[in-house]
Chain A
Amino acid sequence: MKTIILIALVALLCAGAPIKEGYEVGDTAVDFKLKNVDGKMVSLADYKNAKGFILIFDCNTCPYSKAYNERIIALNKKYSAAGYPVLAINPNDPSKSSGDSFDEMVQLAKKKGYDFPYLADESQSVAKSFGATNTPHAFVLTKELKIAYIGAIDDNARKAEGVTKKYVEEAVDALIAGKAVSTTKTKAIGCGIKWKSV
């Protein structure tokens, strides 16, 4: 009888505990395997020589994603050679946003000449485990998949010329220099991820 009460109590306690949604800075991420626009499956473990990663939850349709398109391409150009490649992940449910279907993703990657993976998070489980909410939503990771930065790419969505703080670049530069990242978390207005209906 005592055991049953104990189990019931534990169950109650667990049910009452708040469920933590997504990673915080300092957490270690779990690797994933997602389909790229070239049809191949991609994992972070595939990058044997990477010193870290720039993960960006992004999509085809959001005006913010469109505003940041060229800046994301530039990030990969600047940092992939330094060992910090960009990986873009589209978590939007295509049934809620038809412009985010796999075929449309293939088209966009081709049109824009993406030289980094553009992955479909079909089950949305990667976006959920990272706690991504917006597009674009950037995560800078170390080689050990420790989260070093979460948030916006920079502080001016409207104009790249108007940017005063390049948050992602500053975080990656700090990692390269072996220093602590000064701004580890930022927030930005953006399109909410189109979640599947429960």
Chain B
Amino acid sequence: MWIITLNCGLLFWSNFLHLNNYFCCCHYCNLVDKTYMVSHDQATLFCDYIWHLFTNRIVKKLSFVFLLFASAACSQSVESVKLAELQKIIHNSTDKLLVINFWATWCAPCIKELPHFEKLQQENKNVDVILVSMDYDLDPNIDKVNRFQSKKKIQSRILFLTESNPNAWIEKIDKKWSGALPATLVINSKTGKREFVQGELGEGEIEKLLSKVTN
């Protein structure tokens, strides 16, 4: 995993071997503090570019370019995953509470409840929000989800599940799930408690689910 930190043109990075994911964190002048997932290729390209700039000692001159490039590299963060990878994330033990929202770009109630998840991701450091797009079933092209992500400036991690024949796997995600969208799964991996809700969540309802799995 790569973690890249940008701070007003000063830059540090470190290489942690953890899973096969590449993270890119951008801190611009303490104004923006966000963590982005980028693809392997994008991260490698980005890091190579930064390394090139660094070794050429033109970092200061080109700090502006950094920021532009960082935004460009970070805006493409939708990851394609198969069911096995999603299940690994669901069953992974972590200190944080996992909030997994199943949604799609065509689903109006999903889009309506999205700001609650974004707010939660930004305000609660003990929570990891993962938005799992179910768009593949009707449209296998990831572009629509990428465009949606950049247009709406979504900060939470987005996964694009590339599995057909939903009847074969819906129950593997949760037995209670009929497949209707939206649906939300909240997991406390430390206690093994989980809550699953089908339907749109209103203000404060995610917090209620979180307290159910923590208490």
CB of B179 within 8 A of CB of A134, answer yes
**Alpha-carbon gap, A187 to B179, bound state (A):** 6
Q: Which of A183-198 contact B (CB under 8 A)?
A: 186-195
Give the nearest-CB partner of B137 in chain A. A189
Main secondary structure of the interface of B (DSSP, over half): loop
CB of B181 within 8 A of CB of A192, answer yes
Partner of B179, one of A96, A188, A194: A188
Answer yes or no: A158 CB below 8 A from chain B CBs: yes
CB of A187 within 8 A of CB of B138, answer no
| Chain B residue contacts of A157, Cβ below 8 A | 137-138
| Chain A residue contacts of B181, Cβ below 8 A | 189-192
| Chain B residue contacts of A190, Cβ below 8 A | 179-181
| Chain B residue contacts of A156, Cβ below 8 A | 164-165
| Chain B residue contacts of A96, Cβ below 8 A | 109
Main secondary structure of the interface of A (DSSP, over half): loop
Q: Which of A87-107 contact B (CB under 8 A)?
A: 96-97
CB of A189 within 8 A of CB of B179, answer yes
**Alpha-carbon gap, A187 to B137, bound state (A):** 13
Total residues of chain B contacting the partner, CB 8 A: 26
| Chain B residue contacts of A117, Cβ below 8 A | none
Q: Which of A45-99 contact B (CB under 8 A)?
A: 63-64, 67, 96-97
Q: Min CB distance, B99 to chain A, in Å?
A: 18
Give the nearest-CB partner of A186 in chain B. B167
Q: Min CB distance, B93 to chain A, in Å?
A: 28
A28-42 contact mask (Cβ, 8 Å, vs B): 1 or 0: 000000000000000
**Alpha-carbon gap, A186 to B169, bound state (A):** 11
Given A188-B167, A192-B109, the answer on whether A133 and B137 have CB atoms closer than 8 Å is no
| Chain A residue contacts of B137, Cβ below 8 A | 157-158, 189
Give the nearest-CB partner of B104 in chain A. A189
Chain-A contact segment, one of B60-68, B121-129, B170-178: B170-178
| Chain B residue contacts of A133, Cβ below 8 A | 178-180, 198
| Chain B residue contacts of A192, Cβ below 8 A | 109, 180-183, 198-200
**Alpha-carbon gap, A193 to B167, bound state (A):** 19
